[in-house]
Amino acid sequence: MMLRISKYSIFFFALIIILFPRIASNISAIEHYPDIMIFAGIYCLITIGLSLLMGYAGQISLGHGAFYGIGAYISAILTTRFGWNPWSCMVIGAVITSIVAFVVGAPSLKLKGHYLAMATLAFGVIVFIIFNEEIEWTGGPDGMTGISGLTLFGFPLNTVERYYYFVWGIVLAVFIFTVNIIQSGSGRALRAIHSSEAAAMAMGVDVSRYKIMVFTYSAALASVAGSLYAHYLNFVNPSSFDIFFSIKLLIMIALGGMHYIWGAIIGAVIITFLNYEWLHYFEELEILVYGAILLIVTIFLPQGLAGIPAIVKHWFRRTLSDGSR
């Protein structure tokens, strides 16, 4: 498990974020990539939280699509029906989602493994049904249109490039904040919970408190991501928040490597590009491809893509020591 994340790598990450639209806009084949990267950034916010929950605390969630949806719908309903300021909607969305996560999470997280997976899955399906059925509020399966865009200090975020920097700025801030959590005492407590709940408890770690904290934190991040999504697209409908999406989040985490916080970023970016760009021509095969990716990663690359350097290093070292003998 990756314990230290160097300042240089974060600096390098920031540099790529800044330079990417400049480079992309000069190459006509990938001109539209910054637009896709906005969605990737939105998904990164969810996967960073989910990676903390699954990879570091060892708790599975198949219902984060629901928290994402709750954030998006709260922003959509409050701005279109009541004309509220989008920023306050985003905050209210995060607060309400946190409360929902706490209420659902407190009893759920006492459950383990399969029970937790099914409880979060059931929660996700229930929320999805509510989005579809409460037509008066949510517009039902047709969704809602006319959600206003965002304006930052009188500066409208109305171009792809502006929204790109805004979203990835948030991703970078959340990433650094989460890395700090991982490297603090709380991070060590989380890893202890993952290795053995009983041992962590014996060492005086308040297991249920930590689990609920991480669950709520990841849900709040998903809610903010939902708000960002609604304000960017100016449109929401239930199909963006179904179980398939929750499973896609799981695939992002597994592909990137759930024990590495970098894995959250790598997985989210790759799956987003698969979704919006590369799988475009194979729409019929989409589910099959996702299933195959998840299965292959689980069997052959349980550490995910972010774990490859460690495997290579290990292999290299072994070969070297064999050679010197």
Partner 1 sequence: MEQISIAGQLFQYLITGITVGSIYAMVAIGFNIIYDVTDIINFAQGEFVMLGGLTMVLFHVSFQIPIIIAFILTVMGVTLIGILVDRLAIRPIRQPSVLTLIIATIAVSFVIRGAAMFFWGKNPFDLPAFSGRNPITFYGAVIQPQYFWVVGFLIVVVIVLSIFFDKTITGKAMKACADNADAARLVGINVNQMIMLSFALSAGVGAVAGIIITPISLMEYDRGAMLAVKGFGAVILGGLGSFPGAIIGGLILGIIESLVAGLISSGYKDAFALVVLLCVLFFKPSGILGNIEISKIKRF
Task: Give the interface segment with partner 1, choosing from 74-82, 122-130, 265-273, 314-322 (CB under 8 A).
Answer: 122-130
**Binding residue (CB under 8 A) for partner 1 from 1, 95, 152, 287:** 287
Two tokens at 172?
Answer: 């970078």
Shortest Cβ 286–partner 1 spacing (Å): 7
Figure out which of the listed residues 15, 88, 99, 133 binds partner 1, where binding follows CB under 8 A: 133
Residue 252 near residue 304 (C-beta atoms within 8 A):
no
Spatial distance between the Cα atoms of 117 and 111, rounded to a whole number of angstroms: 9
CA atoms within 13 A on the CB side of 8: 0
Give burial (CB, 10 Å; 0-12/13-18/19+) of 234: middle
Q: With CB under 8 A as the contact rule, which of the stretches 11-19, 94-102, 286-294, 313-321 interacts with partner 1?
A: 286-294
Q: How far apart are CA 123 and CA 62, in angstroms?
A: 9
Instruction: Identify which of residues 227 and 240 has a Cβ nearer to partner 1 in the complex.
Output: 240
Q: How many Cα atoms are found within 13 Å in the side-chain-facing hemisphere of 216?
A: 15
* Identity of the residue, 42 or 104, whose beta carbon is nearer to partner 1 in the bound complex: 104
Measured between alpha carbons, how far is 211 from 174 in angstroms, rounded to an integer? 19
- CA–CA gap between residue 263 and residue 278 (Å, rounded): 20
238, 132 Cβ separation under 8 angstroms: yes
60 makes contact with partner 1 (CB under 8 A) = yes
Give the Cα separation of 211 and 121 in Å (integer). 18
Binding test (CB under 8 A) with partner 1, winner from 22, 81, 112, 313: 112
Minimal distance, residue 5 CB to partner 1, in Å: 23
Contact, 128 vs 238, CB < 8 A?
A: yes
Element (H, E) at 186: helix 185-195
Residues in region 217-246 near partner 1 by CB under 8 A = 243
Of 256, 265, 259, 260, residue with least CA distance to 297: 256
Stretch that binds partner 1, among 20-28, 43-51, 110-118, 149-157 (CB under 8 A): 110-118
Beta bridge partners of 144: 236
Q: Of 19, 23, 129, 203, which one interacts with partner 1 (CB under 8 A)?
A: 129
Q: Identify residue 226 by its one-letter amino acid code.
A: G
> Would you say 131 and 124 are in contact if contact means Cβ atoms under 8 Å apart?
no
Considering only residues 80-109, where is the footprint of partner 1 by CB under 8 A? 107-108
Least Å distance, CB 210 to partner 1, is 17
The residue range among 85-93, 169-177, 287-295, 313-321 that interacts with partner 1, by the rule CB under 8 A, is 287-295
**Per-residue contact flags (x/-) with partner 1 for residues 288 to 317, judged by CB under 8 A:** xxxxx-xx--xx--x---------------
Distances (CA, A) of 27 to 23, 38, 142: 7, 18, 36
Total chain residues near partner 1 (CB under 8 A): 41
Which CB atom, from 126 or from 199, has the smaller least distance to partner 1?
126
In the complex, minimum distance from the CB of residue 54 to partner 1, in angstroms, rounded to a whole number: 7
Q: How far is the CB of 73 from partner 1 (least distance, A)?
A: 16
Asked if 255 is part of the footprint of partner 1 (rule: CB under 8 A), the reply reads no
Q: Which of 21, 71, 61, 50 is nearest to 229 (CA)?
A: 71
- For partner 1, the closer CB: 117 or 160: 117
List the one residue from 3, 27, 83, 114 that touches partner 1 (CB under 8 A): 114
Residue ranges that bind partner 1, judged by CB under 8 A = 54, 58, 60, 62, 107-108, 111-115, 117-119, 121-123, 125-126, 129-130, 132-133, 243, 247, 250, 254, 284-292, 294-295, 298-299, 302
